[in-house]
Amino acid sequence: MNPISQTPEAVAAASADALFYVGRGVAVLQAVPLRARKPGEALVRTLWSAPSRGTERLVFEGLVPADEHERMRAPFQEGEFPFPVKYGYCAVGTVEEGSPDLVGRSVFCLHPHQTRFVVPETALAIVPDAVPARRAVLAANMETALNAVWDSGIAPGARAMVVGGGVVGLLVCALIGRMPGVEATLIDVDPARAPLAAGLGCAFSKPLDAPGEMDVVFHASANPAGLSCALACAGDEARIVEMSWYGSQPVPAPLGLAFHSRRLQIISSQVGRIAPSMRPRWDYARRLAKALALLDDPRLDALITHEIAFADLPAALPDLLAPGAPGLCAAVSYA
């Protein structure tokens, strides 16, 4: 059919609306062509997505380092850093077309913010029936938290601390707070995080009152002061799991004083690779499926503090991604 003769309905069916970061602090919605589905692919209608306050803030501000452009690519990204770029990796939707066993199912995909999309069925993870689609937007963050717990080597009975009560830090709290005998404490400058920590089985402290002699410390504040706190609270030969990513910003770390005599360990944890201890037996699909299963926990609804209509997302992003912005995860509704 000649495009000129297509009805408005046909044109709409062959396109979707997507969020693009087009300049520092500027995002817009743009129509993108929706290619025809091939065998082994699925057409997904998006129900919910969620911007990452850490990674997408760096993208929004144009702070992705040049030598990290390739590693920072999202699976279905369009465009190149710094701008314009279609970016995101927390989308939940319903399969409209695909294999009979998938049609009608709720699925999670590492896809940018977009009303509908066509992807290989292998890129989809089925959301368990017990997990609401809205809560499933936490799956990518839960993968990050799960990988960090694996990297930490934490064992039952350990004294553990999480520095930084953002979404990822609180998901770590949710995981370690239910481990047998673990004494877990969340450290954050915001006392409003205390009830959240308690609901996830963790004590709470502000940095100046933080306890010491920890066996394991998770740092997830994305602030150098948080890393200093993590180092100060670690016990002899303890492990500090650095989960923050700072983009191109320099990060001072207090590696003098008793850092060496106490034989502290700082290890990086990044979701792009499965923790070495699990890598021989786990692949990315198995880890994502487990992350989704771990979201069968109604307590985690408290981590979604905002709800934004997709049409309003470009205008909301400057406030939502501003440093120190209130709240936690923002769920984007496509209803």
Q: Tens digit of pLDDT for each residue in 162-190?
A: 999 999 999 999 999 999 999 999 999 99
C-beta separation of 185 from 129 below 8 A: no
Q: How many CB atoms lie within 10 A of CB 38?
A: 8
Instruction: Give the Cα separation of 249 and 282 in Å (integer).
Output: 33
pLDDT of residue 6 exceeding 90, the answer is: no
Average predicted confidence (pLDDT) for the chain: 94
Angle CA(224)–CA(229)–CA(232) in degrees, nearest 5? 130
> Tell me: domain 3-126+299-333, CATH 3.40.1050.10, correct?
no
Question: Is residue 333 packed enough to be buried (19+ CB in 10 Å), middle (13-18) or exposed (0-12)?
Answer: middle
Is the pLDDT at 271 greater than 70, yes or no? yes
Contact status, residue 317 vs residue 38, Cβ threshold 8 Å: no
Q: Within the chain, what is the greatest distance between any pair of CA atoms?
A: 76
Q: Write out the H or E segment, with its range, that includes residue 143.
A: helix 139-152
Count CB atoms within 10 A of the CB of residue 249: 11
- Structural domain spans, the chain: 3-126+299-333, 141-268
Q: What angle do CA 107, 108, 111 make, to 5 degrees?
A: 125
Residue 24: strand, helix, or coil:
coil
Q: Which residue has the higher pLDDT, 314 or 55?
A: 314
Candidates 207, 204, 160, 166; CA nearest to 183 is 160
What pLDDT does residue 253 have?
A: 87
Tokens 């077309």 map to which residue?
Answer: 97
User: pLDDT tier at 4 (50, 70, 90 boundaries)?
Assistant: very low
Domain range 141-268, its CATH number among 3.90.920.10, 3.40.50.850, 3.40.50.720, 3.40.50.300: 3.40.50.720
**Quick one: what percent of the chain has pLDDT higher than 90?**
86
Q: What is the pLDDT of residue 285?
A: 96
- Indicate the pLDDT class of residue 2, thresholds 50, 70 and 90: very low
pLDDT band per the 50, 70, 90 thresholds, residue 12 = low
Which pLDDT belongs to residue 257? 84
182 vs 91, 244, 247, 329, CA distance in Å? 33, 23, 32, 26
Question: For residue 8, is pLDDT > 60?
Answer: no
pLDDT tens by residue, 202-261: 999 999 999 999 999 999 999 999 999 999 999 999 999 999 987 667 888 889 888 999
The whole-number pLDDT of residue 1 equals: 40
pLDDT for residue 254: 87
Closest by Cα among 220, 222, 221, 218 to 247: 222
